């Protein structure tokens, strides 16, 4: 049976890349040639995936961008395409789900059985029994929100409790209590390198999904220094908009490939 963590470790080694390409398709930003195609979302994302796969070690489709356009079928097609044409590159479904156990079972079925994602992002606010149903899907990854890249993330995640901020409590729970499956990861934004360092100190080699470089302005150098493990991996460094909308015309695939290659190289420069 395949394991998300093993697949991810293999991908990091084989590709020599820590780049996770985020797939946030917005039809109003597509080049004109795609605009009126019925499966434009799938066509756009598939083209981006094929162009950037040589420089990436994972892909992260964000489900809201598909759901807002009634394009769940295109998300299914897209993930099937990645598995078929880029085997060994794990797919993280960015859904940030969080609900009581009986409902979490349904969300886990959605992510792992319907969409065939290798991992899913989840929200910790409802506690461990809202996360446990995902762990029952053997070999599947669960990536828990810890310190998010947005400004408002501080509203709750920075509150002090028991002498440390809430996001560090979440990191501690994930490392010490919630990771019986060994398939957990955490989301920690690149906009806060000091906090990446604090989380890395708490969670050992646990994979960190790090959004916020590129359009959100995170510092790649500081991020890599703060987040790398002893094996010089341990991070899924995500860039979405800065890669997929690097070009606005019919050359969008080439522009995305160049942006992905440059981002991979920039990350590797600091490893």
Stretch that binds a second copy, among 10-18, 77-85, 160-168, 252-260 (CB under 8 A): 160-168
Distance from C-alpha of 264 to C-alpha of 131, rounded to nearest angstrom: 32
156 binds a second copy (CB under 8 A): yes
Stretch that binds a second copy, among 36-44, 119-127, 226-234, 242-250 (CB under 8 A): 119-127
List binders of a second copy among 49-78 (CB under 8 A): 62, 64-65, 67-68, 70, 72
218 binds a second copy (CB under 8 A): no
176 binds a second copy (CB under 8 A): no
Minimum distance, C-beta of residue 232 to a second copy, in the bound complex (Å): 29
Q: Which of 54, 127, 217, 249 binds a second copy (CB under 8 A)?
A: 127
Please choose, from the candidates 78, 13, 8, 87, the residue with its C-alpha nearest in 3D space to the C-alpha of residue 46: 78
> Which CB, 198 or 257, lies closer to a second copy?
198
Does residue 60 carry a catalytic annotation? no
Residue with tokens 């195609």: 37
Minimum distance, C-beta of residue 212 to a second copy, in the bound complex (Å): 9
Binding mask of the shown chain, residues 78 to 97, with x at each position contacting a second copy by CB under 8 A:
------------------xx
159 binds a second copy (CB under 8 A): yes
- The answer to whether 204 and 185 have CB atoms below 8 angstroms apart is no
> Which CB, 60 or 264, lies closer to a second copy?
60
Distance from C-alpha of 19 to C-alpha of 141, rounded to nearest angstrom: 18
Q: Which of 11, 21, 23, 166 binds a second copy (CB under 8 A)?
A: 166
Minimum distance, C-beta of residue 107 to a second copy, in the bound complex (Å): 5
Look at phi and psi of residue 170 and say left if phi exceeds 0, alpha if psi is from -120 to 50, else beta: alpha
> Which CB, 11 or 173, lies closer to a second copy?
173
Stretch that binds a second copy, among 50-58, 102-110, 200-208, 226-234 (CB under 8 A): 102-110
For 158-208, the three-class secondary structure string (H helix, E strand, C coil) is CCEECCEEHHHHHHHHHHHCCCCCCCEEEEECCCCHHHHHHHHHHHCCCCE
Stretch that binds a second copy, among 37-45, 123-131, 200-208, 225-233 (CB under 8 A): 123-131
**Cβ of 209: how many Cβ atoms within 10 Å?**
25
Half-sphere exposure of 143 (CA within 13 A, CB side): 31
Minimum distance, C-beta of residue 175 to a second copy, in the bound complex (Å): 14
Query: Of 29, 60, 96, 140, which one is the catalytic site residue?
Result: 96
Question: Which residues contact a second copy by CB under 8 A?
Answer: 24, 62, 64-65, 67-68, 70, 72, 96-104, 106-107, 109-110, 113-114, 123-132, 145, 148-157, 159-162, 166, 169-170, 173
Q: Write out the catalytic residue numbers.
A: 96
């Amino acid at each position: 049976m395949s394991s998300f963590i093993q697949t991810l470790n293999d991908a990091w080694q084989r590709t020599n890349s820590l780049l996770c390409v985020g797939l946030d398709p917005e039809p109003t930003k597509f080049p004109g040639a795609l605009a009126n195609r019925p499966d434009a979302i799938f066509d756009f994302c598939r083209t981006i995936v094929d162009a950037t796969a040589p420089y990436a070690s994972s892909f992260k489709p964000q489900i809201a961008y598909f759901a807002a356009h009634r394009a769940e079928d295109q998300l299914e097609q897209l993930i099937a395409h990645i598995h078929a044409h880029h085997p060994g590159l794990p797919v993280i479904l960015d859904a940030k789900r969080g609900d009581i156990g009986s409902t979490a079972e349904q969300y886990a079925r959605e992510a792992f059985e319907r969409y065939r994602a290798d991992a899913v992002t989840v929200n910790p606010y409802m506690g461990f029994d809202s996360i446990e149903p995902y762990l029952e899907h053997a070999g599947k990854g669960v990536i828990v929100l810890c310190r998010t890249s947005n400004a408002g993330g501080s509203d709750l995640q920075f509150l002090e409790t028991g002498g440390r901020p809430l996001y560090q409590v979440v990191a501690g729970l994930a490392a010490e209590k919630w990771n019986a499956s060994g398939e957990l990861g955490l989301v920690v934004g690149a906009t806060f390198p000091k906090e990446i360092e604090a989380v890395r100190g708490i969670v050992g080699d646990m994979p960190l999904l790090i959004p916020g470089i590129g359009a959100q302005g995170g510092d790649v150098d500081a991020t890599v220094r703060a987040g790398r493990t002893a094996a010089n991996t341990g991070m899924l460094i995500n860039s979405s908009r800065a890669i997929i909308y690097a070009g606005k015309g019919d050359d969008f695939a080439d522009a995305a490939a160049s942006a992905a290659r440059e981002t991979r190289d920039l990350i590797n420069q600091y490893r």
